[in-house]
Structure 1
Amino acid sequence: MPPLCEFSVSFSRALPGSGPPSCRRRTKEWDLRRGAGEQEVKGRARGRACPLAAPPLLRRVRSRERMPEGERPVEGTRARVRVACLGFAEARTPELAAFEWEPLADPRELAPRCETILVRVPGDDLTLLQRALDACPSSPVVALLETADESLAERCLLLGAEDAVGADEGDEFLARALRNAALRQRALSPARATAPTSPASRVFRALQWSEQLFSELASSARVIPYEAEPEKGFTYVAPQAVEILGYPLSDWYSGRLWSEYVHRDDLECVWSPAQIACGEGIQSEYRVRAADGRTVWLRDHVHLYCADRPVLRGFLLDITELKAVEEELRTSRELYRAMLEQLPAVVWIADGDGRVLQAMGGGLASVGLPSDVLDGQRLDALLEGSSAEWARAALRRVARGERAEFAMEWEGRTWEVTVAPLSLRALGKVIGIALDVTALREAERALAASEAELQHRQKLDAVGRLAGGIAHDFNNLLTVIDGYSEIMLERVPEDDPVHHWADLIHRASAQASALTRQLLAFSRKQALDPKVLDLGDVVEDMRSMLEVLAGEQVRLECAGKHGLWKVEADPSQLQAVIMNLALNARDAMLPKGGTLSIRCRNRTLTTEASCGAPPGDYVELSVHDTGCGMDEEVLAHVFEPFFTTKPAGKGTGLGLASVYGIVKQSGGWVSVESLVGQGSTFRILLPRVLGEESAKEAAERAASAVVEAPTILVVEDEELVRAFACEALRSFGYEVLSAESAEEAVRFVEDEEQPIDLLLTDVLMPGTDGCRLAERLCELRPQLKVLYMSGYTRSVIREQGYDESKMPLLPKPFGLQELEDMVRKVLKGPSGTGLHKYSDLE
């Protein structure tokens, strides 16, 4: 470093609380002139500071900084410091483990191996200290005062001592001062050998040490200290600027750096002298393009010092890595917020009292609220009723360090809430997550309703199977009873008592047949005769009958709207449906009376109806009454067979059950709405069909000529039914062949000599069924015609993969007239099984 003719230093340092109060803060300036003499020291306030110089007193201040426990040297871990002790003739030498003490009577007898001299200062007499400094100018001297006297310590430093320590300040401060002095002695030992002996020279050596220390600290922290004048530009730039940005120092001093290399978007961030007030500083951040093309972020701290001339002093800190971390953090926060905004939830942080500090999440947007609407509000104040109580209970659990969960209603939606203590140095904070489960709850309720409906339908199906099986067996018996009673009525004279008994048997059989038809209707196994029809016409045809049925106390409103779409159903069964609904409505309004409304309309469903009907075109039949209505318990069983709310003996409980079965068998849906005291409404949806007639009606128009004296093969496993059918057919003039099984029927057909014109077969038989038997026999005799009979519905044939709507079927029980009409119709029709597989139709 070049010689200094004049320099000034200033410092200000706060000492730790462990030091004496008088040493907590000191500020002093020295003005030293080279060659002015040992005592020529004058202090002046000049308003400037040199950041590269540290006065001797600063070393004293540093020695009083308490060393952290982890940094204190352990005995034996480093070389012991040899200390010459001067002035301890009547006092004991300090006992410090890391030092070797050598008593010294005369400073001129200092041994070469001693690195430091410790001089004991009695009172305020500095004579012995002065002698040591004069005799050993190249050795560091530490003064040990009797007490920590700050003014006396400054006098010692001004004489040239490395440090001054009070005996009452403790061994730690003394050890620190001796060790620092030894370290400086080792670092500057070559210079001390030829150093001058004046106090200014000793301060100069201290300045060298301080400048070296400052340079090392600045370079390790990637900091560029600088000094500039407002009009001249940079007057000093630390050498590490070349390492950080790569530009030579000449570019800094030329002024081209800021004008050419600062990012154009950050030019406004660079300070100007006009922005800096005297005595105050500013801080700014901007980007600079380095010599290798990198973008370097700098943080600029600058102060304006106004003394003889305004001077800007500051430092540039490389914060490129910090900015990269900040960018990653910002990206992470944006990603986290974007994720939360997509969730149907609200995430918040609250204090221990439940006051919301911050909230976010897509759940707020779903209810139309901004993200800051919850800030500062208490959780329990946002909620009402039981939800607020649950929130307060959850906060009490969180205060005990537990996790809590509860459900709440807020903003018309259902939320599942989880709250828990928030860790990560956020003591006393609470984190909460509220998940919007409104759609989930609605789906669960819909699923529960569907499961209940499925169980109800399974129950009805099970009961229907039972009822259908019973009705089928009864139909076989009733076929025999009804058939033979008709034969008796024809053959027995009317004046014979047997004729009267046969008539009673026939009437009882008819009533029993009506009951079995209701059972089969409920079980959807009744034989139907569907036709394409106008539902409004059916209602209009029944108007007069319904008026009589309603009676004088019930007003009938019947509206069969014109222009209705066509539906395909059995007209007689539709009449039975309307009749049953009208009877139930009338009974619900007695004895007070009321209004019975029967209406038809076209209806298009865009979504699935509550009754289960899929989207499509339908014709709706509604039957509404103003009667007593039904509660939920009655509604749950309203379509079950044998369920009735009427007194014993007043109803069979099969009316609404048969309505349900007929509608379902016709491909429709039925539902009921009712409130106690407000009446009931039954709605029936029948799907729309295109065309004016059914396939069955078209087939009937293609009847062929009647065959004279035909032969009929009867195949029936029930002996009584088979015997009745054979006898009835013979009475009609037909030739009859009787077979108990399919095998026996095949033998008849295989006999080519035996003519057979019609096959009359039961649908369900042991070993095989009538459909397969008819196919086999028609292969043997293609001109054979087939008539099926069954106590079940056509669905049995559908289950075998055939189109049952095109088959001729005689439902059981049947009488003489039904049998004769159906046989004649089939004989007039085309030959073949009358069956068509669905795969063929496709």
Structure 2
Amino acid sequence: MTDPSPTMADDLPPGLGFLAGGGAATKLILARDWRDHPLGPPQTWPSAFKTALSLLLNSPESMILCWDADELFFFFNETYFPLLGPRLDWAMGTPMREVWADAWEQARPIVDDAFAGRSQRFVDLPWKLATDRGAADTWWSFSYSRVLDDLGARVGLFIFTNETTQRVLADRALTESRAELVRLNADLARQVAERTAERDRMWNASPDLMVVVAPDGRYRSVNPAWTDILGYAPGELIGIDALALVHPDDLTSAVVALAAAQSGTMPTFETRFRHRDGSYRWLQWVAAPGETEVFAIGRHVTDAKEAADQLRRTTEQLSQAQKMEAIGQLTGGVAHDFNNLLTIIRGSVELLRRPDLSPEKRDRYVEAISDTATRAAKLTGQLLAFARRQALTPELLDIGAAVAEIAEMVQTLIGASVTLHVDAPSTPCLAEVDRSQFETALVNLAINARDAMDGQGTLRIIVSPATEIPSLRGHHGISGEFLSVTVIDDGAGIAPDALPHIFEPFFTTKEVGRGTGLGLSQVIGFAKQSGGDISVASESGHGTSFTLYLPRVSEGRAAASRIEDDGPADGQGAYVLLIEDNDEVGQFATAALNELGYRSLLATNAIDALALLETDAARFDIVFSDVVMPGMNGVECATRIRESYPTLPIVLTSGYAHVLAENWQHGFELLHKPYSIEQLSRVLRGAVARSARLRGR
């Protein structure tokens, strides 16, 4: 059920509200100079003409209204535009004989029959026309219905038209279909002739519901389509309340729509109407006000609504199944791990409360809490990485050594039936990457390989230098210093039709319950975020090879980085501008800075911090800011500070920051929450030292 559309009448000159909703056709009417036209200005047009024209302009079907039984002044809606071709600019209001001069002799007898009460419908009528596509042989279906005034006099003609060229040409290619079409057309022509012989109003032949609602809100007249769609004979409906058949859930909006139509607007809305058998049908309505009554047309859209609802339900079910599968894979393990960590912390806290605890045991329990908190922070980081909301923390890593260190865990994951071979050069292969994310990517590749081999076979991991990233997935290759980590299995391989989709989130070829389809999505996300990429080569039945490319760091750059991190062991009185909106964290950070030998001043938001710097920036040696804050976030604040005070070092901290997750290369040092005192000391020490060396240069 949709709400009624707003009227456009307020945008039109006084007296022209009946043109509302006509779109481009209304513009053509307004653009014509009617002063010398026999019909006169639109404000003076008869009410019956205005109502008929309003219906025409708002109909979704291609329609023509010829007004004045003698002159047949030609009016049309926007759907009819393509048929006019070069006539479009001048046809509105022009006599029909001039608009279709080349077809007038063919149309004149049909018009005469319609005015005589012999309305006709023509199916697949051949016509050679100059349209917007040029002169062409075309076929059309037309229906002509006369319009009578209150006294029964002829005042106009309604013409419905629909091009059937494409269907006729297709049917001609099939002899049997063409013969059937001829029979159907002949039968249809007989039916139309029988039904239209006694009708004198254009709506009697409409397949859509048509109704006139009296001022008291009751049905004054209905057309025969009510029988076809809702099962009621027209006589059963005359005099009943117009809202009597509306579904209770749609009643409020139907009342609003009817009131809007009675007040002079033209609403479009959808409702469910009760069928004679008690079931409901969806109808799409457009209503137009008359002198005192409301005229409405309803199209049966139940099948379309049900198809759309079924598609929506199927899509939602698929999406929910994918989400639940991924959550199911995560929830059990995460809850188990967190409960284990909380058990250690809670037990250690309770033991620390014992009054007779020895210093050795106290130190041991404190160390257990510290180690467990570190493990919990790492688990949280892995969850954020799964959601791609983790800001990478690049560190200088020997990739060969890192692969060797994780090999034991990989062997445990893939099982004893899979033989693992690691091949890495003896010389360092350095890259600046996030260790946790690199290890997660390697584990994901290993698990996929294990599943592809059905838990039995050989898995090889090879680390080697590379001079380029080849052309991948339509992107040009990149030359430079890189490292490659290749994971090779001898499993079933990947089918060619699945290969282009393997990096898409939730895409999986595994059985239900054996995979979320997120592993390779994490791998390519890590690779791209680290400045690299990943390639895959596979053949069904002959195994798969994944190659992860990462930018390589030279030995000279690595040595310089290690020297830069050296600095004084404590703060030595350096002044820190601390920006933190959380009171508890701010108090902890202030205490920690004091313990480390720093002086600090706390600002609870970015605006206050910028004001402090504007007052006296020289007293501060470093800025230490949270990222996620109300108003201006930490990255925006740090960017403003760097523009105004380029030599002032800045360190950011966050436990979750989508800004940094989207682009960690903002050029700021990042300290992850939760951080230790030692980590805080090391990061601030390095930042102050590097800043001092830069100022010295």
Please classify the TM superposition score into its range, dividing by the shorter chain length.
0.3 to 0.5
Q: Quick one: higher RCO (CA 8 Å, sep 6+), 1 or 2?
A: 2
Normalized against structure 2, the TM-score is what?
A: 0.40
Normalized against structure 1, the TM-score is what?
A: 0.34
Larger Rg: 1
